[in-house]
Amino acid sequence: MAGAPVSLQVFALSQPAPLEPLSALVHQAAQGDRSAATAVCRLFAPVVRAFARRRVIKTDAVDEFTQDVMLVLIEALGAGKLEQPERLGGFVLGICRNLARDRARQRERREALLTEYAGNLAALAAEVPDKPTYEIIHLEDCLSSLSQRARDVVRLAYAEAMSHVDVAQALSLSEGNARVLRHRSLHALRECMSRRISWEAT
């Protein structure tokens, strides 16, 4: 259905490695293989969302921007517009920047692309799960080992998508101290989540 929002929530802890080298995927996509185009999109989705996060706050807006980028990318790959696969990173970034520059003008074009490529987006999307995934309960386990202040900074910065300035203000910290706390908390969580859930390790 054109215009229907498609959630791009992805819960896998690590993105699956492409089954084919990127250049092969780009070539296959240009031959009309939509699963190859989807694989390319899946690879870039986290950084496209990071690009959007820097510019917009609300999760819905981040998802919509990501969806728009993917629609343009899928179309461009299918049309064989990327002649040098080794420049794929810059190509995707260029789409991001162009869309960020002029969102309003893209609305009409977005509807047309959605009609054509909604199937690709559906393959990329994963509905918010009814039950917690392993990654979610793993994070819950790891959060409980942090200090309350570290949990607060993760909640504000990641669950509520606050900017670094707002996080610092909410916690009555200097921006520098909030940044150090954020980085330390991130590293503690990444280290914790690289192991098994606490009780599974004993």
Partner 1 sequence: MSEPASPTADPLALLDDYTSGAMPDSEAESFEEALFARVAHGHASEADFADTLRHAAEWIARRGTFNVGNTRAEIDALLASGFKVEYRDFGDASVPVDIPPLRPDTEIFVYRVGIDLRGYDGADVVIETPSGEPIKTFRDIRFDPTDGELFGVCEAPLAEIGFRSGPARWKLIARRGAERVHVGTLETRPVG
* Contact characters 100-129, partner 1, x per CB under 8 A: ----------------------------xx
Nearer to partner 1, 84 or 115 (CB): 84
Interaction between residue 43 and partner 1 (CB under 8 A): yes
- HEC letters along 145-172: CCCHHHHHHHHHHHHCCCCHHHHHHHCC
Count of positions on this chain that bind partner 1 (CB under 8 A): 75
Cα 119 from chain centre: 19
Interaction between residue 141 and partner 1 (CB under 8 A): yes
* Contact characters 62-91, partner 1, x per CB under 8 A: ------------------------x-xxx-
- What are the phi and psi torsion angles at 58 (to 5°)? -70, 140
Separation of alpha carbons 29 and 35, rounded Å? 8
Q: Which of 47, 118, 171, 173 binds partner 1 (CB under 8 A)?
A: 47
* Contact characters 18-37, partner 1, x per CB under 8 A: x---x---------------
Alpha carbon distances (Å) from 90 to 76, 85, 104, 158, 171: 14, 10, 23, 27, 37
In the structure encoding, which two tokens stand for residue 107, read together?
């609305």
Binding segment for partner 1 (CB under 8 A), chosen from 29-37, 43-51, 73-81, 114-122, is 43-51
Q: Which of 2, 3, 5, 13 binds partner 1 (CB under 8 A)?
A: 13
In the structure encoding, which two tokens stand for residue 3, read together?
């215009």
Separation of alpha carbons 118 and 2, rounded Å? 7
* Least spacing, CB of residue 115 vs partner 1, in Å: 28
